[in-house]
Amino acid sequence: MRFSALTLARNALSFHEKWPQLWRSPEPQPRYDVIVVGGGGHGLATAYYLAKEHGIHNVAVIEKGWLGGGNTGRNTTVVRSNYFYPESALIYDLSLRLYEGLSREIGFNVMLSQRGLVTLAHSTHQLEMLVRWHNAMRLNGIDGELLSVAEVRRWLPLLNAAPTARYPVKGALLQRRGGVARHDAVAWGYARAADALGVDIIQNCEVNGFLREGDRIVGVETSRGRIRAPKIALAVAGHSSVLAAKAGFRLPITSYALQAYVTEPLKPVLSCVALSMSTGTYVSQSDKGELVTGGALDLYPSYAQRGNLPTLQGIVAGLVELFPSFSRLRMLRQWAGIVDVVHDSSPIIDRAPVRGVYLNCGWGTGGFKAIPGGGFTLAHLLATDRQHPAAAGFTLRRFATGALIDEGAAAGISH
Ligand SMILES: Cc1cc2nc3c(=O)[nH]c(=O)nc-3n(C[C@H](O)[C@H](O)[C@H](O)COP(=O)(O)OP(=O)(O)OC[C@H]3O[C@@H](n4cnc5c(N)ncnc54)[C@H](O)[C@@H]3O)c2cc1C
């Protein structure tokens, strides 16, 4: 079914009770060509591109909970491609370009809103960093503009840009193509499109172990029985190290909780995404009017998917310093997700050290924007056994050679 004004009108007449299910809920088959573990955005996008780009339809996505119930449905939805290194520019801009055509391609509105992302500098040193970053973006062919203080004031009228502010504004870097997209819709849209191409999406099915033949993994043990496949992709974000340990290898990943917060809804007050280089706090306004805000990781590794007051306090303090009028708002909701952090803040798309297993992980605090690109390049690797050029830098080899792609240090990693 394609969504249109006509289908909307037809379903309105039946009080919206007759919409078809967006995807089937099939029983797991004993064997597939590819199993993708993890029904987040990356797993679902991988399955979709396997079917669409490579004609591999006999694919299962196995999810222990519900689709998008991991970080994909918990993030603050910022998309951008303003990275520093050429390797990052390749994959994140591929992703943003795929996002730009995604709603039309899959016939499902992912509500991409390229409203602009403004990164604020609060000192001369930070401004120099922004200029260097902007130059790198231009060399990488990515759009970006430096903003003067007067221009920042026009983009963010409620910002406290006074010279006496605790974080005075010295300038900013704008990526106009940056913005937000609807996170659930990305998961649901990919799921619907993959299902239409024959992919089996199996929810409430946890992978608890792996089947081995010699030095090769040939299937998974799940809470709903054994399922075999010659190729198994892991796209399980914060649980990558847990599954890697079960498959018999280690990953350079540490899992942390990352939190986000939403205020009560307001009339439109913020037309772009704003991010502070000093505090790491960032904020955007959702279509419902709520301010969506977040900041840095919790300080200690954890698998506890919940929040805490010290982080809330730090992020809210950063927000209120930037936008004093927001101090009057009430916080409505708070939550956390478990993110997979690598020391150079860059992803891993590669074959695992154990044969038969493929990896898509390490996106840490910023992998929502990378869902189309991560899925596209992992599908290429699974189908051809060759690394996609856009993911060439993101193999495990860099941890042996030391050729890290340290985006955390270069361009900051705030989502
Ligand atoms: C609070 C917060 C804010 C964020 N903000 C942004 C942002 O603004 N922009 C941005 O680009 N990124 C952001 N991120 C990061 C982004 O959400 C993630 O990088 C991205 O969603 C990862 O997608 P994924 O598909 O790899 O993982 P997930 O969406 O986490 O999917 C992994 C899935 O694997 C499943 N799974 C795990 N173990 C098993 C098992 N044993 N068997 C079967 N299934 C299993 C999980 O249930 C989960 O559904 C944020 C993250 C958080 C937590």
CB-facing half-sphere around the CA of 209: CA atoms within 13 A? 5
Average pLDDT over residues 5-24: 93
Average pLDDT, the chain: 96
Helix (H, G, I), strand (E, B) or coil at 111: coil
Summarised one tens digit per residue, pLDDT across range 86-113 is 999 999 999 999 999 999 999 999 999 9
Task: Return the pLDDT at 1.
Answer: 79
Nearest CA to ligand 1 atom 4: 75
Are the C-beta atoms of residues 253 and 341 closer than 8 Å to each other?
yes
Rounded CA-CA distance 147/119 in Å is: 10
Reference 187, options 392, 38, 317; nearest CA is 38
Summarised one tens digit per residue, pLDDT across range 332-376 is 999 999 999 999 999 999 999 999 999 999 999 999 999 999 999
Reference 3, options 143, 115, 144, 107; nearest CA is 107
What's this model's pTM, rounded to 2 decimal places?
0.97
Rounded CA-CA distance 7/385 in Å is: 41
pLDDT at 411 > cutoff 90: no
Rounded CA-CA distance 139/30 in Å is: 49
Task: Return the pLDDT at 303.
Answer: 96
Task: Return the pLDDT at 307.
Answer: 87
Average pLDDT over residues 101-126: 97
Task: Return the pLDDT at 408.
Answer: 81
Reference 366, options 284, 296, 279, 288; nearest CA is 296
Task: Return the pLDDT at 137.
Answer: 97
Task: Return the pLDDT at 413.
Answer: 65
Residue 355 φ then ψ, to 5° = -65, 145
Nearest CA to ligand 1 atom 31: 40
The per-residue DSSP string of 145-167 comes to EEE-HHHHHHH-TTS---TTSSS
DSSP bridge pairs for 91: none
- Contact 262 CB / ligand 1 (< 6 Å): no
Summarised one tens digit per residue, pLDDT across range 254-295 is 999 999 999 999 999 999 999 999 999 999 999 999 999 999
- Contact 369 CB / ligand 1 (< 6 Å): yes
Are the C-beta atoms of residues 211 and 247 closer than 8 Å to each other?
no
Task: Return the pLDDT at 4.
Answer: 87
- Contact 42 CB / ligand 1 (< 6 Å): yes
Task: Return the pLDDT at 259.
Answer: 97
Tell me the pLDDT band of 412, cut-offs 50, 70 and 90: low
- Contact 219 CB / ligand 1 (< 6 Å): no
In ligand 1, the atom with minimum distance to the C-alpha of 66 is: 49
Summarised one tens digit per residue, pLDDT across range 303-316 is 999 989 999 999 99
- Contact 247 CB / ligand 1 (< 6 Å): no
Tell me the pLDDT band of 415, cut-offs 50, 70 and 90: low
Whose tokens are 């997979």? That residue is: 340
- Helices 86-106 and 371-384: angle between axes, nearest 10 degrees: 100
